[in-house]
Every structure is written in C-alpha cells, then in structure tokens.
Amino acid sequence: MNDKSRREFLKKAALGGAALSVMRVTPSAAQSKPAINIDMPKTSAPMEYVRRVDFAAIAKSSANERLTQILFDHTSGAKTCSIFCIKTPAGGGSPAGMHVHAVDQIFYILSGTMSIEIESKQYNCSPGSLIIFPAGVPHRNWNGGSEPTVHLAFNTPLPDPDAPFAKSV
C-alpha cells in the first residue's frame, strides 16, 4: 500500500468509513505454494468503539469480486485479535487452498453457504454457523453455491502484520 493509499485509508477509518483491503496471493521463493498477505497500513487510527459492516460496499461490489472489510486490527487499536468482514463470490474460496495459520481463526456466516474442509471432513455452513479453525490445523474454505457468502473472520491472537497470514500446505 503506498503512502497516499495509506493516508486515504486512515482518513476513512477516522471518519467511520469502511476500510476495505484486497487480499493478495504472492509466490514465495521458499515454498511451492503462494503465501497470503493482506495490504494494510502500519499506523494506528483513533479508536472507534462501534464498528459497522459496510453492507452497501458489499452490495456494490461485482459478483466475482472477493472483498475484505477491516473492522478491527493493529491499525485500529487491536491488541489481541483482528476482525474482518469478507465477501467470497460464488466459485471463490481461500486463495491459498489448503492452508494453516499461526493463530486461531473463527468464522461466523452472515449470508450464503460456505463449504469448509478440516481434518479431512467437509461441511456446508449456512448463515448462523460458527466455524473454528485452530492454529496449525490444515483447512480450506470455498463457496460452492450460486450466491456470494459473507462472513465475519476473527483471528486470535492478533496476527503479526509483518508475517504471511496463511501458509499453504
């Protein structure tokens, strides 16, 4: 993220606007599968005690677009966890495929049906489902349905912003 983009992000965050970030898949020379990094600013914005999911931005996004809204992370006062709202288009899924994290990852499904695989078992998770991916346990998630899924993603402890978030396995 360049300095101008970072300033715009922080300005929107300070004004209560949606902070949107795009996940990127980047090849890693040390591994044959890509690492997942999330472009995020490295400085903190003033604390907002009430956060809102920007459902209008989700609705305006294209049908094939994966969208990540940052609700709470190291740039907005988080000390112990991060929280994102993620829209995954039909046919989309984890950019890393089967992967692990150094932190616990918890999803709460708001809309659509998310398919997951964890410990060689597959599940279809409808709205209201709480999904728990313990740190170090290989898993993947995808949208095999015909409509986008929207879910909240909680990561604890707070992921290191300077380390790849996911490692493909």
CA distance 29 to 61: 33
Which of 105, 110, 115, 64 lies closest to 86, judged by CA? 110
CA distance 40 to 74: 9
Residue 109 is predicted with a pLDDT of: 98
DSSP code of residue 93: B
Domain ranges of the chain: 3-168
State in words which class domain 3-168 has. Answer: mainly beta
Name the token pair of 100.
């692990």
Which of 100, 104, 140, 148 lies closest to 123, judged by CA? 140
Q: 0.85 exceeded by the pTM?
A: no
pLDDT digits (tens, 9 = 90+) for 13-32: 433 444 444 443 333 344 34
Name the token pair of 31.
């591994």
The answer to whether residue 12 scores a pLDDT higher than 60 is no
Q: Helix and strand tally (H, E) in the chain?
A: 2, 13
pLDDT digits (tens, 9 = 90+) for 51-79: 999 999 999 999 899 999 999 998 888 99
